[in-house]
A and B are shown apart, each in its own frame.
Chain A
Amino acid sequence: MLKATLRSFLAHKGRLALSMLAVLLSVAFVAGTLMFTDTIGSTFDRLFRSTSADVSITAHNDVAGRNDQNFSGTVPTVPASLIPQVAHIPGVAAVNGRVSMAGIVLTDANNKSIGAIGGAPTIGINWSPGPNSPVDLTSGTAPSGDGQVVVDSDTVSKHHLVLGQQLHVIGATGGFPVRLTGIATFNTTNPGATLVFLDTGTAQRRLLGHEGVFTSVDLTAAKGVTNEQLRDRVAPVVGSAYDVKTAEQTAKDAAQTLGAFLSVIKDALLGFAGIAVLVGVSLILNTFSMLVAQRTRELGLMRALGASREQVNRSVLVEAALLGLMGSTLGLFLGVGLALGLIKLIARGGMVLKGSQLAVHWPTIVAAYAVGIIVTTVSAYLPARRASRISPMAALREADTPGRGAPLRIRAVVGLVVLAVSAGLLVGAATDKDLGQAGILLGGGVLLSLVGLIIIGPLLATPVIRLVGGWFPRVFGPVGTLSQRNALRNPRRTSATASALMIGLALVASLSVVGSSMAASFDAQIDKTIGADLIVQNSTGLPFPNEVGDTVQATPGVGLAVRGQGTRGALVAADGTQQKTVVVGTSPGLDKVVRIEMRNGTVAAGTAPGHAMIGSNYADAHGLHLGSPVTILFQSGRAGTLTVGGIDVTDTNPGGLGDEPVVASSTLRQYVPGALDDIVFVNVAPGADKEQVKSALTTALAKDPQVQVRDQTDYKKLVRGQIDLLLNLVYGLLALAIIIAILGVVNTLALSVIERTREIGLLRAIGLGRAQLRRMVRLEAVVIALFGAVLGLGLGLGWGLAAQRLLAAKGLQSLAIPWSTIIAVVIGAAVVGLLAALGPALRASRLNVLDAIAHE
Chain B
Amino acid sequence: MAASGQPAARAVGLCKAYGSGETAVLALDRVDVEIDGGRFTAIMGPSGSGKSTLMHCLAGLDKPTGGEVYVGDTELSHLGDRALTRLRRDRIGFVFQAFNLLPTLTAEENITLPGDIAGRRTDAAWLRQVVETLNLGDRLRHRPHELSGGQQQRVAVARALAARPQLIFADEPTGNLDSRSGAEVLGFLRRSVDELGQTVVMVTHDPNAASFADLVLFLADGRIVDRLEGPTADAVLERMRRFDVRGGSQVTLPAPDAD
Contact = CB atoms under 8 A, between A and B. Distances in A.
A768 to B, nearest CB: 5
A844 to B, nearest CB: 14
B82 A766 contact: no
A482 B99 contact: no
Interface string B87-117: 0111001101001111111000100011011
B138 interface: no
Nearest to A845: B81
A307 to B, nearest CB: 27
Contacts of B73: none
A754 to B, nearest CB: 15
A485 B117 contact: no
Interface string A743-781: 000000000000000110011111111101000000000
B56 interface: yes
A765 B100 CA distance: 10
A324 B257 CA distance: 41
A100 B94 CA distance: 88
B61 interface: yes
A846 to B, nearest CB: 10
Contacts of B109: 478, 481
B142 interface: no
B16 to A, nearest CB: 11
A767 B117 contact: yes
B105 A482 contact: yes
Given A764-B85, A765-B88, A477 B119 contact: yes
Q: Which of A400, A486, A759, A849 gathers most chain B CB within 10 Å?
A: A849
A767 B114 contact: yes
B145 A766 contact: no
Interface string A351-362: 000000000000
B238 interface: no
B94 A486 contact: no
Given A762-B99, A764-B85, A853-B96, A402 B117 contact: no
B56 A762 contact: no
A767 B96 CA distance: 14
A293 to B, nearest CB: 15
B86 A765 contact: no
Contacts of B62: 850
Contacts of A400: 103
A771 B37 CA distance: 32
A167 to B, nearest CB: 71
B258 interface: yes
Given A485-B105, A854-B259, A766 B99 contact: no
A767 B116 contact: no
B118 interface: yes
Contacts of A485: 104-105
A768 B103 contact: no
Nearest to B88: A767
A768 B117 contact: yes
A766 B159 contact: yes
Given A481-B109, A850-B56, A850-B62, A770 B102 contact: no
Interface in A366-411: 399-402
Interface string B36-58: 00000000000000000000100
Contacts of A768: 85, 89, 117
A489 interface: yes
Given A402-B104, A850-B56, A478 B99 contact: no
Interface string B6-30: 0000000000000000000000000
B118 A482 contact: no
Contacts of A762: 96, 99-102
Contacts of A478: 109, 113, 116-117
A486 B102 CA distance: 10
Interface in B239-259: 258-259
A747 to B, nearest CB: 21
A478 B116 CA distance: 6
Interface in A472-509: 477-479, 481-482, 485-486, 488-489
B138 to A, nearest CB: 21
A489 B117 CA distance: 21
Contacts of A850: 56, 61-62
B127 to A, nearest CB: 16
Interface of A: 399-402, 477-479, 481-482, 485-486, 488-489, 758-759, 762-770, 772, 849-850, 853-854
7 contacts: A402-B104, A485-B104, A765-B96, A766-B114, A767-B85, A767-B90, A769-B89
